[in-house]
Amino acid sequence: MDRRRKPVKTRRRYDASRRRERARRSHLEILEAARERFLRDGFSSTTIHGIAEEAGVSVDTIYKTFGGKSGLLRAIYRHGLAGEGPVHAETRSDALQTTETDSRKLYQGLGRFSREVAPRAAPVHRLIRQAAAVDPRMQVLLDALDAERLERMRQVARTLDAAGHVRDDRTVDQAADILWTYTSPQLYDALVETRGWTAAQFGSFIADALTAALAPLR
C-alpha cells in the first residue's frame, strides 16, 4: 500500500487589493463621466443611462453605488473638496492648522487651499443651486451640503481659536461665519466667473481677507 501523501491542492489566495483598485478606478471613472455630462448638458438633460454608457458600467451599478442624480452630484462635489494629489485637502488643512505657529502663514495656507479646491467644487455647487430651483430633492441636497460646510468651518474655527490664531474680539461662532463666507462657492463665482479674476488672485484675496478679519492684532 502506497502511503505517500498526495499533494494537497491549495486554493490561491484571492487578491482583494486588486479588486479594491478596480473598484476605485471604476468609481472615479463614473464621477468623471458624470461631472463632464452634468457641467456640459445641465442637470435636466443629463441621464443616468448616458453617464453609464460613457463610464462603461451598467445603469444598475450607478444606482446601487450612488442612488441616482442627487447621490452622484453629492459624490462629485465631495470629490472636488479633496483637491489635488493623493492626500485629501481637508487632511492637509488640518495638519497645517495644528503645526503652523505663525497666524499669517496659516491664513496664507488656507488661501492656497481655497484656490486649489474652489475651481473643482464651485461649478458643481452652482449646478446644484440651479437644479434646486426646480427640483425639491436638489434643494434638500443643497441645504445638506451648506450645513456640512458650516459645521466644517465651526470645527476649523475651534481649532484656530484654541491655537491662538483668532483675535480676541472675535468669538468662535463669528470666526466660523467669516470662514464660511470667504470660502463659499458663491464668492468664487462672483469674483472668478463673473468678474474675471484668476484663481491665483482669488486665493490671494481669501488669504488676505482671512488674515485681516481673524488674525490676532499685533
We report the CATH number of the domain holding residue 28 as 1.10.10.60
CB 83 within 8 A of CB 116: yes
- Say if residue 94 is in the same domain as residue 142: yes
Amino acid at 36: E
Look at residue 200 and give its three-state secondary structure: helix
- Say if residue 127 is in the same domain as residue 182: yes
Amino acid at 88: H
Q: Tens of pLDDT along the chain (218 residues)? A: 455 565 555 555 556 877 777 777 889 999 999 999 999 999 999 999 999 999 999 999 999 999 999 999 999 999 999 999 899 999 999 999 999 999 999 999 999 999 999 999 999 999 999 999 999 999 999 999 999 999 999 999 999 999 999 999 999 999 999 999 999 999 999 999 999 999 999 999 999 999 999 999 87
27, part of any domain = yes
Grid coordinates representing 150 are 458650516
- Say if residue 39 is in the same domain as residue 137: no
| Dihedral pair phi/psi, residue 21, rounded to 5° | -65, -40
What's the total number of domains in the chain? 2
194, part of any domain = yes
- Say if residue 34 is in the same domain as residue 113: no
Q: DSSP of 33-69, one letter per residue?
A: HHHHHHHHH-TTT--HHHHHHHHTS-HHHHHHHH-SH
- Say if residue 95 is in the same domain as residue 196: yes
7, part of any domain = no
Range of the domain at 47: 17-67
Predicted TM-score of the model (pTM): 0.86
